[in-house]
Amino acid sequence: MSIVKVLIIAEEPWITLDLKYRLQRLGYKTIVASKSLTLQDVIDAEQPDLVLLEKQKVESETVGAIEAADLPIICFNAESQPFEIPIDLPCLAYPYQENLLDAAIRANLRHHRIQTQLAQQLSDNQKQIELLHTVEHELRDPLSSLLITLDWIELMEQAEQSPQSLQKLDHLALARNSVQHIAELLDRTSLVCRCQAGKLSWEPVWIDLGEFCQDLIAEIEQLYSNANIDFVCLSAHPMIEFDEMTLRQILSNLLTNAVKYSQDSSPIYLSLTRNTNHVIFQVQDRGIGISEADRALIFTPLYRGSNVKEIPGTGMGLAIVHQLVSAARGSVTVESTPTVGSTFTVTLPLSL
């Protein structure tokens, strides 16, 4: 691990010297602002990890140069007493107490590192969304043209009714399924993009959640021969005013994922609970599970777990769930153990 470098900016030389020796005893490397160089030159040359800035030196140009270099700042008072500054920065009232000085530096470096990682993740996610939007836009028209062409060829072959035509119709059916699969992926991509842009349309209606869940389970079990879903309703008369298509997307993505990643035809459990302010859904499976490393990323668009192997998927289902739940001001959490199974919990507010 590299030694942390601390840049000291103080009004008096004796203050700088005192802090320099204290920091060196704590194991830090110190840098002193030079009057012969601009602050920007010092930062560029020395590449400090953190800046200790005396309150008398808090000026817009100084703070601006430090923030432009994306460096954490700790303001301190050489007079060793509580103080206030006109900007929102962490402040250290007793800089000569080495335990407090060390703790403040460690805490601010840790906070800055976390903030940097979050900003990078947000930037990466935004770039992914922009790429998805571009791909969705560019492919939509060619796919529509391709489907029209397949329809035209199919009509021609059906009219001929020769053995060769029947064989061609089989291939056309496969081609149509492939195109429809791509179109479905584009629909999912478009949904994620609309969520990110805040352009979802909400049309709340009253939904009988018991009937809704049972109908959805019947549809999924018809699509997947290995689906074995048990529904448990833990609330009487569970009605909710919610956008039906949004709720369908959330639950169908969780349930189809559970079916795909379950072992054999092991049972999947969907439970429903309603309290005063929220409705809570849980989807539990006995599937391949999700590793701890993957759990931090499973809601990222296009991300797939490291253990999915040859199981087909697009990496969009959980991203859609997360985006829709967030748009509804709800929450989604996951508990999972590899080879044992996963439990997804979705909590939605009763009023949007």
pLDDT tens-digit readout, 45-94 = 889 999 999 888 888 778 888 888 889 999 998 888 887 776 778 888 88
C-beta of residue 282 within 8 angstroms of C-beta of residue 270: yes
Residue 258 — left, alpha, or beta (φ > 0 → left; ψ -120 to 50 → alpha)?
Answer: alpha
Measured CA to CA, the distance from residue 43 to residue 48 in angstroms comes to: 6
Does the pLDDT value for residue 159 go beyond 80? no
Residue 293 has pLDDT above 70, yes or no: yes
3.40.50.300, 3.40.50.800, 3.40.50.1860, 3.40.50.2300: which CATH number matches 5-96? 3.40.50.2300
CA distances from 213 to 126, 210, 252, 269 (A): 33, 5, 10, 12
List of long-range contacts for 222-228, beta carbons under 8 Å, 24+ apart? 223/256, 224/256, 224/259, 224/260, 226/259, 226/262, 226/264, 226/265, 227/259, 227/265, 227/268, 228/265, 228/266, 228/267, 228/268
Express as a percent the part of the chain with pLDDT over 70.
82
pLDDT for 124: 65
Identify the DSSP state of 262.
B
One-letter amino acid of 88: D
- CA dist 234 and 275 (Å) reads 10
Span 1-10, pLDDT tens digits: 578 999 999 8
* Domain extents in the chain: 5-96, 122-197, 204-349
pLDDT, residue 337, reads 92
Which pLDDT value is given to residue 330? 93
User: What pLDDT, on the 0 to 100 scale, is given for residue 25?
Assistant: 92
State in Å, rounded, how far the first CA of the chain is from the last one.
49
Query: ∠ CA 207-212-218 to the nearest 5 degrees?
Result: 170
Q: Which residues of 324-350 are buried (b: 16+ CB within 10 A; e: fewer)?
A: bbebbebebebebebeebbbbbbbbee
Q: CA of 191: how far to CAs of 146, 216, 249, 319, in Å?
A: 22, 20, 10, 10
Q: Which residue has the higher pLDDT, 217 or 123?
A: 217
Q: In CATH, which superfamily holds the domain spanning 204-349?
A: Histidine kinase-like ATPase, C-terminal domain (3.30.565.10)
pLDDT of res. 175: 75
The pLDDT assigned to 191 comes to 66
Q: How far is the C-alpha of 291 from the C-alpha of 132, rounded, in Å?
A: 26
Q: Output the pTM of the full model.
A: 0.52
The helix/strand/coil state of 258 is helix
pLDDT at 132: 62
pLDDT value of residue 49: 93
pLDDT digits (tens, 9 = 90+) for 225-265: 888 999 999 887 788 888 888 898 899 889 999 998 887 77
pLDDT at 24: 92
Q: Which residues pair with 6 in a beta bridge?
A: 30, 50
Instruction: Provide the residue type at 93 as one letter.
Output: A
- Tell me the pLDDT band of 217, cut-offs 50, 70 and 90: very high
User: How far is it, in rounded angstroms, from Cα 226 to Cα 219?
Assistant: 13
Mean pLDDT of 94-112: 89
- Is pLDDT of 278 > 70? yes
β-pair partners for 241:
206
- Size of the chain, expressed as the number of residues it contains: 352
Q: Check residue 188 and give its pLDDT.
A: 63
Please give the Cα distance from 90 to 80 (Å, whole number): 15
Mean pLDDT of 157-171: 70
Distance in angstroms (rounded) separating the CA atoms of residues 349 and 352: 7
Q: CA–CA distance from 163 to each of 154, 168, 170 (Å)?
A: 14, 9, 11
What CA–CA distance (Å, rounded) separates 157 from 168?
7
